[in-house]
Amino acid sequence: MENGTKGTLQIFRDKIKQIKSYEEALGVLNWDLRTGAPKKGVEQRSEAIGVLSEAAFRLSTSDEMGELLDALGADGNKEQLHAIDRKLVEETKKDYDRNKKIPPKLYQEYVVLTSQAESYWEEAKENSDYAGFQPYLEKIIDYTNRFIDLWGAKATRYDTLLDLYEPEMTTAELDRVFGGLREKLVSLAAAVAASPHQPDRSFLGQTYDKEAQKKFSLFILEQMGYDFSSGRLDESVHPFATGLSPGDVRITTRYLPDDVTSALFGTIHEGGHALYEQNIMPELIGTTLCTGTSMGIHESQSRFWENVIGRSRPFWQQYFGELRKLFPGQLDVDVDDFYRAINTVEPSLIRIEADELTYNLHIIIRYEMEKAIFNDGVKAADLPELWNEKYRSYLGIAPRSDKEGVLQDVHWSGGAFGYFPSYSLGNMYAAQFADTLVKELPELWTQIGRGELLPTKQWLTDRIYRYGKLETPAEIVRRVTGKPLDPSYLVTYLETKYKDIYKL
């Protein structure tokens, strides 16, 4: 590499490191805000987050950054770069071109708004007070529309938002995938509902000690290979994972006194996210490539650990005895009864508590609502009624309050429009990865049944985790499985599983 290019690259790397340092500090501030910061400090904390966010934003969109990217991306220079640096320049350029169109002050206002809104959402949800939260949501939608105008809408306005979370994904592709998926899942759900072999869930309806729930959550995370010297488990209203660096990946869960499975599967889900972030190759640390390549691939890992592994029969053949010890006299059933109970299919109102089969219908509802907001101009005031209407249509049930309806998810309060489809895409990716995993590790289920989860973690690390953002979702899926994304793997997985459970 020529000295000029080498010097330019070093300056560029230093700028990226500076931006990442701001982002790490912001990550800690946001984590603290969600895990118990005093309510009276929310407004000032939000202002501080806004100031630091603007500083990082200014660095990332500065004229100097533009000049560095132009120099490193120029013919002759780009070819001299190592593959990691070349990809770093490409990704930074993409973000630069998008963010340069947004005035820094406008961005700061938006960050302050969403920081405040996420905290007020918690209160609004607790009190089922959509009217109190609506003004925040109206402003967030307005800012998001202004951003779309500045960026320039793609094929549809909503396509512009999808690209933020799943690069190159479009509404046309999602309409095709979701259309076929919905038809097959509705048919399977109907067959399941008609089966005379319904699991008994009555024993789950008890009061379960919170500390015992926490103990088992920590135990399972350890079994999965979650590194507690590089992370921690805390409590929050809505479970989430925060990856500050591979050496500091924090997760949260929530403990419900009347549901022993909520914290358990929430913890495993977030643990899947954390394993991804903890096992990215060291060469990417300090760069913007040190994260998951897309939210769909990220969700594939959380959903894989939660459902494919965590809700499997072999998993509970190993761990059910440990769970029973923590709740003496409360789980006096055999392991197969427990396995069938935690895989019951039943229309429900709460997305994060939904079974694997109907879960995707929850996502399709949110996807259609977000399209309606940004492509059709549906207003915030109309969302509760539209939400309830879709739940009646898709699942045959309707929320009794906005707390279990339109206010149940944190995503919109943080401006994360376009994120929800990632969950169903994650289910599809997970099923396709699992198909390849079983072929390459024929002893997989025997290992899981013995409590040997680390070989699975290592396989995922070698093929997915370590690469961070070096490859696109499409590149990862094709490299790992030899094929592009195919939703039929998810359908096959669900049909096989539920035909067994319900004896269809």
Q: Which domains does the chain have, with CATH numbers?
A: 3-152 (no CATH), 199-356+418-501 (1.10.1370.30)
Q: Which one-letter DSSP state was computed for residue 198?
A: P
Is 197 part of any known ligand binding site? no
Q: With beta carbons less than 8 A apart as the criterion, state whether 263 and 271 touch.
A: no
Q: pTM of the predicted model, to two decimals?
A: 0.90
Q: Is 440 a catalytic residue?
A: no
Catalytic residue among 54, 118, 122, 270: 270
Is 138 part of any known ligand binding site? no
Helix or strand (DSSP H, E) at 332:
none
Question: What is the rounded distance in angstroms from the CA atom of residue 160 to the CA atom of residue 470?
Answer: 22
Tell me the one-letter amino acid at 141: I
Helix or strand (DSSP H, E) at 244:
strand 241-245
Is 238 part of any known ligand binding site? no
The pLDDT tens digits along the chain (504 residues) read: 566 788 999 999 999 999 999 999 999 999 999 898 898 999 999 999 999 999 999 999 999 999 999 999 987 788 889 999 999 999 999 999 999 999 999 999 999 999 999 999 999 999 999 999 999 999 999 999 999 999 999 999 999 999 999 988 999 999 988 988 888 888 899 899 999 999 999 999 899 999 999 999 999 999 999 999 999 999 998 899 999 999 999 999 999 999 999 999 999 999 999 999 999 999 999 999 999 999 999 999 999 999 999 999 999 999 999 999 999 999 999 999 999 999 999 999 999 889 999 999 999 999 999 999 999 999 999 999 999 999 999 899 999 999 999 999 999 999 999 999 999 999 999 999 999 999 999 999 999 999 999 999 999 999 999 999 999 999 999 999 999 999 999 999 999 999 999 999
Helix or strand (DSSP H, E) at 12:
helix 3-34
